[in-house]
Homo-oligomer: A and B are copies of this chain.
């Protein structure tokens, strides 16, 4: 008597996950403007009603994709603790760059103009703050700062530098011949500045 409801709930969860994967496929292939109820239904080979019932609107899809992308980014930059603090920070930044270059549409969705992060009271903003907290923690582990506020300023400055690096690289407008090597130069500059 208890088994069927459990089974049904599991199935529903699996359908939602499959629809979200389909939405991500559309996002990666065609960009966020193309992520519509209809396009996701087509990609998932289900009816538009099935997508609508779970995500309600294009905005619902975008929020779910932003949450998924921020979780992926958090996982990518949360480097194992078996490295020295400064090298752990550097590896985390390299993983951030790799994530952005591998998934440009997902990256633009969360950090480009029109990002759902802009609404500071949303669940997406909470997920964004969680990623920022990982970065702050990595920086705090090898720097001495007077206050939490100073640590947040440093983390924002670091995020600006790595965000700028990857967006310039994505746009193909860098002025140096090897942007991978320039990224290491950015990390040198940041670690020198943070420990000066």
Chain B residues whose CB sits within 8 angstroms of the CB of A46 once the complex forms: none
Partner of A118, one of B158, B171, B191: B171
10 pairs from A and B in contact (CB 8 Å cutoff): A111-B168, A111-B171, A113-B171, A128-B173, A153-B185, A156-B185, A159-B175, A160-B186, A188-B193, A189-B193
**CA of A114 to CA of B164, assembled, Å:** 16
Known: A129-B175, A191-B193. 7 other contacts (CB 8 A): A111-B168, A114-B171, A128-B175, A160-B182, A161-B186, A190-B193, A192-B193
For window 115-142 of A, CB contacts with B under 8 Å fall at 115, 117-118, 128-129, 132
**CA of A173 to CA of B111, assembled, Å:** 7
**CA of A192 to CA of B152, assembled, Å:** 18
Chain B residues whose CB sits within 8 angstroms of the CB of A172 once the complex forms: 115, 117-118
**CA of A153 to CA of B194, assembled, Å:** 19
